[in-house]
A = this chain, B = another copy of it.
Amino acid sequence: MRLAVLHGPNLRLLGRREPEVYGTETLDSIGGRLHELAKELGVELEIHQSNHEGELLDLIENAAERVAGFVVNAGALTHTSVALRDALVGVGKPFVEVHLSNTTAREAFRQRSYLAPVAHGVVLGFGGDSYLLGLRGLVTHLYQTS
C-alpha cells in the first residue's frame, strides 16, 4: 500500500518561521520521521511540497492512480481553497487533514477549513507529531476497510 503526504504553501519555511507557533522542527526532519513510521507500518510513502495550488491539484490528480490515501497539511490553502477540496473529493481516496498548530486557537479565518468536513479524520496541534498521528490513523483505517 502506497500513501502520499502533501505539504502546502510556506511549509518550506518550517523551523525558521514563527517558531513560537510552528516549533523548530524542519520539514526534512518530519519527512525522515514519517518514512521511519511508514516502514514500521508496512506502507510506502511519497512526500510533496508546493507553494502552488495548481501544482497540488495536478499532484492529487496524478498520485490518485497509485496511492490509497493522503495525509494533507494544506497550510493556508486549508482556509481558502475550494479547489483542493474538490480535487481530494474528486479522486475518491480517503485523506487525513493535519496541522502543526491548534488552528482552533488562532485567528477566526483559520477556524474554517474547506477540507475538514470531507476528511476521514483531523489531527491538530501536536507539531510534527500531527503528521505521524495522522499517518497512523489513516493506515489503520485503510487496513480496516480493505
Interface status of A16 (Cβ within 8 A of chain B): yes
Out of B82, B91, B116, B122, which one reaches A123, CB within 8 Å? B122
Out of B9, B81, B89, B121, which one reaches A86, CB within 8 Å? B9
Q: Which residues of chain B are near A116, meaning CB under 8 Å?
A: 102, 104-105, 124
**A130–B57 alpha-carbon span in the complex (Å):** 24
For the complex, count residues of A whose C-beta is within 8 A of B: 57
Contact, CB under 8 Å: A75 / B83:
yes
**A85–B104 alpha-carbon span in the complex (Å):** 14
Residue interface bits A103-146, CB-to-B below 8 A is 1, else 0 = 01100011001101111111111100110010011001100000
Out of B79, B83, B124, B137, which one reaches A126, CB within 8 Å? B137
Contact, CB under 8 Å: A9 / B87:
yes
Q: Which residues of chain B are near A52, meaning CB under 8 Å?
A: 52-55, 57
Q: Which residues of chain B are near A36, meaning CB under 8 Å?
A: none
Contact, CB under 8 Å: B80 / A18:
no
Contact, CB under 8 Å: A120 / B110:
no
- Given contacts A51-B61, A102-B120, A105-B117, list 5 more A-B pairs with CB under 8 A: A9-B87, A102-B121, A119-B125, A120-B126, A133-B136
